[in-house]
Amino acid sequence: MNKIIKASAGTGKTYRLSLEYLIRLIKGEPFNNIFVMTFTRKATFEIRQRILLHLETIISNSKEGKDIIDNLKKIDDNINIDIENLKQIYNEMLKNKDKINIYTIDGFLNMVFKKVISPYINLYNYEIVNTEENKEFTERVLKKIVNNKVYFKEFNDFFMENIERDIDEYIKTIDTIILNRWKFLLVNHEPKVKLGNINPIIIYEEAVKKLDEIFQIKGKGEFFEYFKKDFRFYNEIENLEKKAEYILRDNKKFLKANFWNGNKIKGKNVVGLKGDLEDIYEEFKKNLAIEIYNREVIPYEKHIFNIADIIFKLYDEIKIKEKKFTHSDIGNYTYKYLTDENLGVVKNGKFTNYFYELIGNEIDTIFIDEFQDTSILQWNILKLIIESSKSSIVVGDEKQSIYSWRGGEKRLFETMENIIDGNVEVLDKSYRSDSKIINYINNFFGKINENFRYKPISYYEKNIGGYIETFAGSKIDVKNELVEKIKEKLNGNYKNVAILARGNRELNEIALILGNNKIPYVTESNLSIIEHRTVKPIYFILNYFLKNSYIDLLNFLRSDIINIDENYLKLFIKNQNIVEDFINGVDDLENINIKKLDFIDENIIKLLEEIKKLKNMEFKDINKELIEKFGILNKYTSISDLKNIYYFFELMKNFDSLKEFMEFLKKKSENEELKQIGIEETNAIKLMTIHKSKGLEFSTLFFYWKISSREKPEKGLKFFTEFDSKFHNVEKYMFVNSKYKNIIETCGFEFFSNAKNVSDIEEINNLYVALTRASKNLFIFADFGNSKLGKNFNTIFSEEDTNIYKGEGKFVATPIEIKDVEDKIVLDNKEKSKSNNKDNNKTTIKEEYNFNKYFKNLKEERLELENSMTLEKEFNRKLGLAIHYYLENIIYGKEDERKRAKKITYSKYGNMLGYDKVETAIERANNFINKNKEYYDEKYNVFNEYEIEYNNQKHRIDRLLIDEKNREIYILDYKSGHVMDKAQLERYKDILMELTENRYAIETKFLSL
């Protein structure tokens, strides 16, 4: 059963998806066999929380729970809800949250790559890097090309002919080809067949003769005057072959304009001949374009494929060696190897049982959220699961498809019901936005473009009201007008207020105006704790210690913590080698004094000594030294500052080394775990791009809309692909340079125009995403730049429907009361004053964040880790974990248990240890079971990894055996090393004695693995 849910913005998509998940559970599907995929980490968190909350609410037997049950039955009235069964499922899900399979699509593909592909290519450890970090690999590819004569000749010919001789352009081109690699994977490349044509020089000569006929009739002046000046040279060439060379060489000129002087061929007596001339010249241009296509475009495309092969070969060599991949790399490699017959995981368009064995799970139902953002490459992987699973549910909104630049395809979701033969349901009632906003959106998008195919939605009956203002301006600073409106309407209350714009450049300009007006704001980039003003300097100095990045040292010195002035900064830059020699221990203090550098004074000496001391310090002590020696707690005293410092140090406490910690920060940069504390409560306007706002909502939204009537010129390489109706096979493709746009279009190919249509619709999609973020108040500021409003205005706004009045910079609001907004502002200001009173109580907050206690606990926790584990010890530790994991899944040691345990142990540890070592672990575990058969007797009720909560503390027992008949309990503890904590087992025994009220004889035993 396949279902497609088309959900407009704010119509309860996440709520509906979570209910569909519950229905699968109620119908008996194991939760670990249900896979959910969505687009962002934030969405995975929300869906997981929503599912668990619904279950908790249902089993609580509350009114809210009954409402959820009613909604479930509206979707499927055949379900039979067993509360006791749901309680059991809920408890299992809480105990096994790691088995709730909710992924980002990137995360899912990474899991498949790790468990299926990487062992196949003998790659057992790797790292995910971001796009910025990946630039290093592009540069290394270029270096390898330069150092290889054959490769360099191929590239040199290509670049010299087509691109400026600039190293940045070389790198940009390599980047572009790597970014579009997925298209190379999907295209079945075959050399293009030349198009048939007539020799264009013959047709041009015919056109010249036709012009001569006109000249003879007109009988005025000289024949050469009937040619435009740029075309007169042609008549001076006597040799036809030379004329052909001239036309081919200057083809752009001939394709762009007519060759005749229009003023010379006017008149009724030559109207017919003029028409003939124009027809002949159109025929000439078409045949000239075909000639250029055959001579240049076809070989150019072949050249692109040749250099792409070289790039991919070198890129893969570097990547596999370094074991560092972007998410795009993971997707490309996953698709490439999944279809390899030798791997044996795909057969007849479906995943085989072997695939599911490797990932350690069956998949009964697959949910795909935000499907409109799914790339075609991702789709060609996901459809293999859909074809293999019992059911699928895809959810999305084609109006919110805004990721075509990375392979997203709106038409894929638009036609999904025809691709997977599914039933379509439409969610068309908004629970987010008030009625006035919904009505405005319906009017606006209903008329904006006939290809947009907008269908009106309704609003929730209780959401009556809303407020809209629009401003359309040209030849004035519209951004200033926006900020003035903020000052007028919001009166200092900025909670749940956002400004959206298309790009960061516009946001930065608005941020500058907000700053000048002392209006607080936060940008999308500083939502991470790393970007918090108290943490960023600490991050800089830690990054310097790890990478010896002098720029990070300078950033630390310029931060609020040190705050050296410009003169000192220049001296630090000038004397970099000397400073680094001292910090790294190459030079000592006495030698530096001997050099008598003009920037050395007592304070700088102390500063350098402290930094040197910090750099050579144990990681566990760095944070304490930072706080004590640099006076961080004296410089930052607000609640928000202290919370974020404390939280950052709490994160540090979880790691044994600086390298591990910094790698964690890099990998989790967009994770909720690294979000600043209290950012939601900040009384500041949030500035973000439309792309970053997706999935969010704001009570009050200001949208800055930069409108330009000028089209950006096409530049660089283009990779056009057009697919069949199932989006499986590429039916047409063209990889070409934009400089050939006119040639391509004159030949009759529609690649550029089709791409333009897609781009235009995506811009409307961006508008739709932006305007549908508002729940209560929507302010639109349209900036027409230096263009007049006139025609552009009328094509975008409708005065009749929206009460927007054109006029250079004139502001007119729709006649809707602002009272509701003002009431809300008064309420929020009261809340703000309470918050401000709390801010004044600095003593309380410092007591709450007791840093001395923190460092004392940190020291105690780290004592046992003073001697770092060697690589061998760490490997043996992981081997022990693999044995533990295998035994965790064994109850009585039966064959079917052992098969299942083997499969999931391979799945979890195969990538980490290698299959040979996992085989060793499984062999040791089976030998252990055979030697200890008395503890695998079926007379026992068995509880593996049993967790006991006692006095607010949790205790975990490796294996707990209960013999009800003889009233006996065995507490078994597996040991793979030499340390045995007898006191711990006795503590477990005492707890169980108390909990069972001494009704069982309890024995404890260590079992050596």
Residue 837 to residue 730: CA distance in whole angstroms: 64
**Token pair of 303, please?**
């050249």
Nearest residue to 57 via CA among 65, 49, 66: 65
Q: Which residues pair with 329 in a beta bridge?
A: none
**What is the pLDDT, as a whole number, of residue 510?**
92
Residue 919 to residue 910: CA distance in whole angstroms: 9
- Asked if residue 820 lies in contact with residue 776, where contact means CB atoms within 8 angstroms, the answer is yes
Taking the model in full, what pTM does it have?
A: 0.69
Residue 471 to residue 793: CA distance in whole angstroms: 11
**Token pair of 849, please?**
């964040």
* 946 three-class SS: strand
Residue 11 among known ligand-binding residues: yes
Cα Dmax for the chain: 125
Residue 665: how many CB atoms within 10 A of its CB? 20
- For 41, list phi and psi in degrees, rounded to 5: -60, -35
Residue 14 among known ligand-binding residues: yes
Residue 115 to residue 980: CA distance in whole angstroms: 34
Residue 987: how many CB atoms within 10 A of its CB? 14
**What is the pLDDT, as a whole number, of residue 317?**
95
Tokens 């707690």 correspond to 633
Residue 7 among known ligand-binding residues: yes
- Asked if residue 227 lies in contact with residue 259, where contact means CB atoms within 8 angstroms, the answer is yes
- For 794, list phi and psi in degrees, rounded to 5: -70, -25
List the chain residues with pLDDT less than 50: 163-164, 526, 593-594, 596-597, 790-795, 798-871, 978
**What is the pLDDT, as a whole number, of residue 740?**
93
Residue 9 among known ligand-binding residues: yes
Residue 569 to residue 551: CA distance in whole angstroms: 11
Please, where are the H alpha helices in 850-894? Answer: 851-862, 871-888
**Token pair of 279, please?**
């027809």
E strand map for 334-413: 346-347, 350-351, 365-368, 391-396
Residue 486 to residue 493: CA distance in whole angstroms: 10
Residue 518 among known ligand-binding residues: no
Residue 901 among known ligand-binding residues: no
**What is the pLDDT, as a whole number, of residue 367?**
96
Tokens 């909502």 correspond to 697
Q: Which amino acid is at 384?
A: L
Mention every residue, 6+ apart, whose C-beta is less than 8 A from residue 146: 152
Q: Which of 417-438 are b and which e, b meaning 16 or more Cβ less than 10 Å from the residue's Cβ?
A: bebeebeeeebebbebbbbbbb
Tokens 């119509």 correspond to 11
**What is the pLDDT, as a whole number, of residue 807?**
28
**What is the pLDDT, as a whole number, of residue 830?**
31
- Asked if residue 733 lies in contact with residue 183, where contact means CB atoms within 8 angstroms, the answer is yes
Residue 675 among known ligand-binding residues: no
The number of angstroms, rounded, from the C-alpha of 553 to the middle of its chain's C-alpha atoms is 30
- Asked if residue 731 lies in contact with residue 722, where contact means CB atoms within 8 angstroms, the answer is yes
Residue 10 among known ligand-binding residues: yes
Give the Cα-Cα-Cα angle 129, 130, 133 (nearest 5 degrees): 80
Residues 242-280: pLDDT tens digits?
999 999 999 999 999 999 999 999 988 999 999 999 999
Residue 653 to residue 327: CA distance in whole angstroms: 29
